[in-house]
Amino acid sequence: MNQYLVEPGRKVNLSKWDPNDTGTFQGGKEAGVAEAAGLNKKLEKLQELLYAEHRRKVLVVLQAMDTGGKDGAIRRVFEGVNPQGVRVANFKVPTGEELDHDYLWRIHKQTPGNGEIVIFNRSHYEDVLVVRVHNYVAPEIWAKRFEQINQFERLLAENGTTILKFYLHIDRDEQKKRLQARLDDPAKHWKFRLGDLQERKLWPQYMQAYEDVLNRTSSEYAPWFIVPANHKWYRDLVISSVLVEALQKLQMKFPEPEENLDRVVLE
């Protein structure tokens, strides 16, 4: 999956990245779903090991345009994983208390503790995306945040956090289909927001903002992956593959028991 890795210093032009891509994977959707299911079993065991070892932390960042598939990816990639050691953090419009602090204050409180996987469904990157596109803050303010975010993520990484960031890449036509599906199905009306249509008009501005994020904040300690997400099954396969490989590289071990159990006999 390194083909989707944004190497530090690599110049990203999202128009060159195919959201329909399925890489070199053979077999189509059915085989992809089966492959992802196998990875899910591995993830279950690795998450249990992470929790038991209780020495390291994992932060998964998901960013996407509306309908990009963040909720679906969380549901499928982490299906069956013990919720005791996995938590999802959502970041909506800041509260008054949060606005009284720096923009990373509310983010830092949600970062993972030892033995924990935390998934950011949207993240601190909203403060160089939405605020930029909508001119909520001046350019000289949001422009400084790229380096601030890099330093924040470096702090986390140097204190034992494995950071994996995924941009779920769909195209405008796919977004239209997904929005239409929400309109057509009464059971999905709750997902539809008229504001989504206004955001859709700003697609070019968002693409430019995302390109800057990918170009300026992908690092060795907190890499970005551009995930082709028009095909939901392949989106899940990419995320699962990257996550399992990263956890395997940690070479975790179950802790030794506090006492010698060799002579323990249960009556």
Q: Say which residues have a Cβ less than 8 Å from residue 266's Cβ, sequence separation at least 6.
A: none
**What is the amino acid identity at position 86?**
V
Element (H, E) at 163: strand 161-169
pLDDT digits (tens, 9 = 90+) for 47-64: 999 999 999 999 999 999
Output the pLDDT for position 266: 81
Strand, helix or coil at 13? coil
Smallest CA-to-CA distance from 59 within 146, 185, 159 is with: 159
Instruction: Kindly state whether residue 236 falls inside one of the protein's structural domains.
Output: yes
Output the pLDDT for position 263: 75
What pTM was computed for the model?
0.95
Instruction: Kindly state whether residue 264 falls inside one of the protein's structural domains.
Output: no
Instruction: Kindly state whether residue 263 falls inside one of the protein's structural domains.
Output: no
Split into its structural domains, the chain has a count of 1
Instruction: Kindly state whether residue 254 falls inside one of the protein's structural domains.
Output: no
pLDDT band at 260 (very low <50, low <70, confident <90, very high): confident
Instruction: Kindly state whether residue 214 falls inside one of the protein's structural domains.
Output: yes
Does residue 86 register a pLDDT over 90? yes
**What is the amino acid identity at position 141?**
I
Does residue 178 register a pLDDT over 80? yes
Quick one: average pLDDT of 123-134?
Answer: 97
Quote the CA–CA distance of 253 and 202 in Å, as a whole number. Answer: 48
Task: Give the range of the structural domain holding residue 22, as residue numbers without chain letter.
Answer: 2-249
Quote the CA–CA distance of 33 and 87 in Å, as a whole number. Answer: 24
Measured torsion, CA atoms of residues 42, 245, 57, 45, in degrees rounded to the nearest 10: 10
Residue 21 sits in a domain whose CATH number is 3.40.50.300
Does residue 264 register a pLDDT over 80? no
Instruction: Kindly state whether residue 177 falls inside one of the protein's structural domains.
Output: yes
Smallest CA-to-CA distance from 229 within 20, 33, 35 is with: 20
Output the pLDDT for position 90: 93
Average confidence score pLDDT of the chain: 95
pLDDT digits (tens, 9 = 90+) for 179-212: 999 999 999 999 998 888 999 999 999 999 999 9
Block residue for tokens 């008229």: 194
Please, what is the end-to-end C-alpha distance for the chain in angstroms? 51
How many residues make up the chain in this entry? 267
DSSP one-letter string for 231-248: SHHHHHHHHHHHHHHHHH
pLDDT digits (tens, 9 = 90+) for 147-171: 999 999 999 999 999 999 999 999 9
Output the pLDDT for position 18: 97
Q: SS3 sequence, 89-131?
A: EECCCCCHHHHCCCCCHHHHCCCCCCCCEEEEECCHHHHHCHH
pLDDT band at 25 (very low <50, low <70, confident <90, very high): confident
Instruction: Kindly state whether residue 175 falls inside one of the protein's structural domains.
Output: yes
User: The dihedral of CA 43, 45, 50, 51: what is its sign?
Assistant: positive
Q: Which two tokens stand for residue 224?
A: 């970005």
Instruction: Kindly state whether residue 245 falls inside one of the protein's structural domains.
Output: yes
